[in-house]
Chain A
Amino acid sequence: MNEKIVFIKDTSIGVDLTKDFYASFLNLLREQSLEDKVQIIRVADIGIYDRGLVVKFCDLDIIYANVQEKDLKNIVTKTIKDGKIINELLFKDQPKQLRIVLRNCGEIDPEDIDEYIANDGYQALHKAVNESQPTDVIEELKKSGLRGRGGAGFPTWLKWKLTRETQDTQKFVICNADEGDPGAYMDRGVLEGDPHSVVEGLAIAGYAIGASKGYFYVRAEYPLAVERVEKAIKQAYDRGFLGKNILGSNFNFDVEIRLGAGAFVCGEETALIASIEGRRGTPRPRPPYPSVKGLWNKPTSINNVETLANIAVIILKGGAWYASIGTEKSKGTKVFALTGKVKNSGLVEVPMGITLREIVFDIGGGMLSTKGIKAVQTGGPSGGVIPKEFLDTPVDYENLQKLGSIMGSGGMIVMDEDDCMVDIAKFYLGFCVDESCGKCVPCRIGGYQMLSVLDKITQGQAKIEDLDKLKRIAQAMQKASLCALGQTAANPVISTLRYFLEEYQDHIVNKKCRSHKCKHLLNYNVIQDKCKRCRVCVINCPVNAISGDKEKGYLVDSKTCIRCGKCYEVCKFNAIAKE
């Protein structure tokens, strides 16, 4: 049985006529008595969006897009029967994603070291320890242009070089897997899907800087990641990729796991070091940087999970190859955790320089609801929002910074018209206030004061002068905080003020929240024309704020109402107004 396989999917926004097209297609095949020779398969997702009906032919490996009902006949008689390509319908598909860090994620069994080895695993470690000098490894990284993927984007080769050049008897390397940005889980994906790539990266880092000991600092909230890293380390010891005389060389390297209890500040390198040393996780002033005085005052290089997962590929394929991907100053790829109001949320890995629009609409499949896109948040609580006007900006470290956000570790949250920007700023600032370690005054008190101003704004009790106060405190925090947590905590507020000042003014002057998010500025009312007097809202109101009778109709008492929104949810006739 040699069947041809044809995949179809209607990718139009809002309507899905795949089943109708399927029926017409099947009829046409029957007319040509081809129904036994062709399998038409309706798919749930064809990887192309907003291009009408998309048809993919498995045997020819071509795709037709924007196919109309009238084209189907031609497709059956020409393409299916005779194998002729209809050029007008042809869709040239360029894959948007490029997987380097996630090369093995979802491909191999993360708990089986042999599968990793079968995919070139530990070949880079062999090349490093047996065929190159540590300085060669650093030189290769310099060529690659790889920058730290934890957020700040410091050149990895320089960090390694500085640590290497500091003279000491003992040095350390640390893998920072203390991922904590709300909505971001790139590192978890890598550790759970391909832990050996990170172990190998860490061992190569150890060789390059001359460290004989490495630590994994993983948060305890990632139990599965911890379990898989533990297994990976054990397997690597058994096979001789860790321990003494690695792969027959003179290089010795030991690795240990340290669990973090989940404090966000412990992702900051000096606080992380304190935590590994068994002290309270609080940062200290830099310099001296960890490359000079790090763990137990020894030179230490701390690298993010994603940075380390890149290393083996760079060593094997060469720095020049890596540098050919990306933009002038940002090389390679970046993994993003695409979440929020987007259809296909998940992990995506894209070459630097791709636009936000491509990420959200071509990979993410567009918006989840019919509401339009408002902004994209990047960089978590240290980042900012990028409004829809800038969706065509190529993504790299410099461009995002220019827009008042940062690359960050890779959280990317898509927001639509239902998201209130003041509320978003309040959420992120609230996160940082909760997570502030309290050691330095600007972060501890500044954050709290800013949050109370934002509280006032969302409750409609602020004055317009309060906006200046926000800016003043933000500036003080940026300049005087001890670590990046405090220095960047105000970023979401600053960036929303920059792009969505009108929304702030609306809250303060008109006491209105246009996204209906800030409940203190909301009022629920019964729309008398639409109300069918069914009393469902009355029964469901938890505070008995709705009164009246069937004759006169019902009213919401705004003094008693707690703005829970229950009446709005339960009304079947859309007779409750939220304004």
Chain B
Amino acid sequence: MTKLLKKDLDKIKTAHQDNGENWIKVGMSTCGIAAGADKVYEAFVEEVKKRKLDIKIKKCGCQGMCYSEPSVEVRVKGLPDVIYGKIDKEGVMKILDKHVCGNALVKDAIYELRTKR
């Protein structure tokens, strides 16, 4: 790969400015994986493929809320960003059914509200 200069840094920065309107981020550090985040991630990828949904599944590091792992941040257009905690396969389905497809938040599973961005 070519070596980058300052102008390339700025180019990449602008290209990534728009992070997309729809995505799900799964916390995949040791704390998350120990609690089952890898299975949650796989379930999301599989299910999104099966249902042909227009949503990106991404990985991220530890959000600091180790008590609520596996935790998942969801951004869907029209709804506030939230972090769901203690998510299992059933939780994956709920998030996809309700939050992603149903325009409603999932009850009793939200651990952090990311309204201020």
CB of A514 closer than 8 Å to a CB of B:
no
Also in contact, A114 and B12, with CB within 8 A (given A189-B64, A348-B64): yes
A345 to B34 alpha-carbon distance, docked (Å): 15
Which residue of chain B has the shortest Cβ distance to A228 in the bound complex?
A: B61
Query: If the complex has contacts A109-B58, A346-B66, are A117 and B16 also in contact, measured as CB distance less than 8 A?
Result: yes
Inter-subunit contact B1/A238 (CB<8 Å): yes
Assess the B62–A105 pair: CB atoms within 8 A: yes
Interface string of B95-117 (1 = CB under 8 A from A): 00000000111011111110110
B63 to chain A, nearest CB (A): 3
Question: Do A245 and B3 touch across chains, with their CB atoms under 8 A apart?
Answer: yes
Question: Given known contacts A61-B115, A192-B61, is B67 in contact with A346 (CB within 8 Å)?
Answer: yes
A525 to B8, CA, bound (A): 75
Q: Is A118 an interface residue (CB 8 A)?
A: yes
Most A CB atoms within 10 A — which of B9, B25, B31, B64? B64
Within 8 A of A (CB), among B31-80: 31, 33, 58-68, 73, 79-80
Instruction: Name the residue in A42, A47, A104 with the highest tally of chain B Cβ atoms < 10 Å from its Cβ.
Output: A42
> 0/1 per residue, A313-329, Cβ < 8 Å to B?
00000000000000000
1/0 per position for A96-139, CB-CB distance to B under 8 A? 00000010111111110011011011110010001000000000
Instruction: Give the chain A neighbours of B15 by CB distance below 8 A.
Output: 114, 118
Cβ contacts A201-243/B at 8 Å (1 or 0 each): 0000000000000000000001011000000000000111101
Contact status of A7 and B30, CB under 8 A, knowing A117-B9, A118-B13, A344-B65:
no
Bound-complex Cα distance A239 to B73 (A) = 29
Q: Is A23 an interface residue (CB 8 A)?
A: no
Chain A nearest Cβ from B110, distance in angstroms: 4
Chain B contacts for A570, CB-based, 8 A: none
Report which of A7, A194, A343 forms a contact with B113, defined as CB distance below 8 A: A7
One of A45, A108, A120 near B85 (C-beta < 8 A): A45
What residues of A have a CB within 8 angstroms of the CB of B12 in the complex? 114, 117-118
Residues A189 and B3 in contact in the complex (CB < 8 Å), given A102-B64, A117-B16, A118-B12: no
List chain A residues, Cβ under 8 A from B67. Answer: 343-346
What chain B residues lie within 8 Å of A46 (beta carbons)? Answer: 113
Asked if A75 is at the interface (CB within 8 A of a chain B CB), the reply is no
Closest A residue to B103 using CB positions = A1
B12, B62, B110: most-surrounded residue (chain A CB, <10 A): B62
Tell me which residues from 8 to 32 in chain B have a Cβ below 8 Å from any Cβ of chain A: 9, 12-13, 15-17, 25, 27, 29-31
Given contacts A43-B108, A58-B80, contact A239 B113 (CB under 8 A): no
- Expressed in whole angstroms, the minimum distance between the Cβ of A388 and any Cβ of chain B is 22
Contacts of A240 in B (CB 8 A): 2-4
Tell which of B2, B65, B86 touches A346, judged by Cβ atoms closer than 8 Å. B65
B66 partner residues in chain A, CB cutoff 8 A: 345-347
Interface string of A48-60 (1 = CB under 8 A from B): 0000000010100
- Count chain B residues whose beta carbon lies closer than 8 angstroms to a beta carbon of A: 46
A403 within 8 Å of B (CB atoms): no
Contact B60 A109 (CB under 8 A): yes
Can you list, as one digit per residue, whether each of A168-198 has a CB less than 8 Å from chain B (1) or not (0)?
A: 0000000000000000010011001110000
Contact B61 A42 (CB under 8 A): no
State whether A39 and B104 are in contact (beta carbons under 8 Å apart), knowing that A115-B16, A120-B13 are contacts in the complex. yes
Instruction: Tell me, yes or no, whether A5 is within 8 Å of chain B by CB.
Output: yes
Q: Which residues of B contact A346 (CB under 8 A)?
A: 31, 62, 64-67
CB distance from B91 to the nearest CB of A (A): 11
Q: Which residues of A contact B110 (CB under 8 A)?
A: 7, 41, 43-45
Interface string of A18-41 (1 = CB under 8 A from B): 000000000000000000000101
Known A39-B105, A120-B13, A192-B30; judge A47-B113 contact (CB<8 A): yes
B111 pairs with A44, CB closer than 8 A: yes
CB-contact partner of B6 in A107, A247, A344, under 8 A: A247
Report whether B59 and A111 are in contact in the complex, using a CB–CB cutoff of 8 Å.
yes
Given contacts A117-B9, A224-B33, A241-B4, contact A47 B60 (CB under 8 A): no
A128 to chain B, nearest CB (A): 12
* Cβ-defined contact, A193 with B62, below 8 A: yes
Closest residue of B by beta carbon distance from A93: B116
Q: Which one of B5, B17, B86, B113 lies within 8 Å of A43 (CB-CB)?
A: B113
Q: When the two chains form their complex, are residues A192 and B62 in contact, meaning their CB atoms are under 8 A apart? A: yes
Q: Is the CB of B16 within 8 A of A5?
A: no
Q: Is the CB of A41 within 8 A of B107?
A: yes
Is B68 a contact partner of A44 (Cβ separation < 8 A)? yes
The reply to whether A126 and B65 form a contact with Cβ atoms under 8 Å apart is: no
Q: Output the nearest chain B residue to A61 by Cβ-Cβ distance.
A: B115
Tell me how far the C-beta of A262 lies from the nearest C-beta in chain B, rounded to whole angstroms: 15
Are B6's CB and A189's CB within 8 A? no
A33 to B2, CA, bound (A): 62
Query: Is the beta-carbon distance between B60 and A110 smaller than 8 angstroms?
Result: yes
Q: In the complex, A46 Cα to B83 Cα: how many Å? A: 11
Q: Once the chains bind, are A126 and B6 in contact (CB under 8 Å)?
A: yes
Q: Which residues of A contact B27 (CB under 8 A)?
A: 106
Say yes or no: B4 contacts A239, CB within 8 Å.
Answer: yes
Provided the pairs A114-B16, A126-B9, A247-B4 are in contact, do residues A44 and B62 lie with their beta carbons within 8 angstroms? no
Whole-angstrom distance between the alpha carbons of A7 and B62 in the complex? 25
> Known pairs A225-B30, A247-B5. 11 more at Cβ < 8 A?
A7-B110, A43-B113, A58-B80, A110-B60, A114-B15, A118-B16, A189-B62, A192-B61, A239-B3, A239-B4, A245-B3
List 16 contacting pairs A-B, 8 Å CB cutoff, sorted by A: A3-B103, A5-B79, A43-B109, A44-B109, A58-B113, A105-B62, A105-B63, A110-B59, A120-B13, A126-B6, A189-B61, A239-B1, A239-B4, A240-B3, A343-B67, A347-B62
The 8 A-B residue pairs whose C-beta atoms are closest, nearest first, are A193-B61, A240-B3, A106-B63, A118-B16, A346-B66, A43-B110, A347-B64, A192-B29
Interface residues of B (CB under 8 A from A): 1-6, 9, 12-13, 15-17, 25, 27, 29-31, 33, 58-68, 73, 79-80, 85-86, 103-105, 107-113, 115-116
